[in-house]
Amino acid sequence: MNHHFVLKKKDKQALSESFNEMNAIARGVEARFDLLTGRSKVVTQGTIDIGRRLSIPEKEIQRWAALRSIHDSERNGVIKPSLNRLKRSLLLRT
């Protein structure tokens, strides 16, 4: 049996908003998990160790590590405002 769901424009918008909220929650959980476990630091150090074993030039390893650090900082800086927007959005619905 073939099921097709036809979504009205209003339903699509609500679905899109829910999707965005779920993404914000996931980013928040990921950032919180990372802050609590240091997972990102472990991954970065493991990658550096492997790069060295593969004889990747130290200059390239350090450049990659610096960019990774910047990315992690930027990601963590985006999480809090996203969660605050989500919180306000949820409060407005109630």
Residue 84 is assigned to a structural domain of this protein: yes
Domain that holds residue 86: 38-94
- What is the tally of structural domains in the chain? 1
Residue 93 is assigned to a structural domain of this protein: yes
Residue 1 is assigned to a structural domain of this protein: no
Residue 31 is assigned to a structural domain of this protein: no
For 21-34, what is each residue's pLDDT tens digit? 777 767 777 777 77
Residue 33 is assigned to a structural domain of this protein: no
- Tokens at residue 56, please? 């990747």
Among 6-10, 24-28, 79-83, which is the least confidently predicted range? 6-10
Residue 49 is assigned to a structural domain of this protein: yes
Residue 76 is assigned to a structural domain of this protein: yes
For 42-68, what is each residue's pLDDT tens digit? 888 999 999 999 999 999 999 999 998
Residue 73 is assigned to a structural domain of this protein: yes
Pick from 88, 75, 94, 70: nearest CA to 26:
75
Q: What is the pTM of this model?
A: 0.53
Check the CA dihedral 84-24-38-66 and report its sign.
Answer: negative
What span, in angstroms and rounded, lies between the C-alpha atoms of 63 and 82? Answer: 29
What mean pLDDT, rounded, does the chain reach?
76
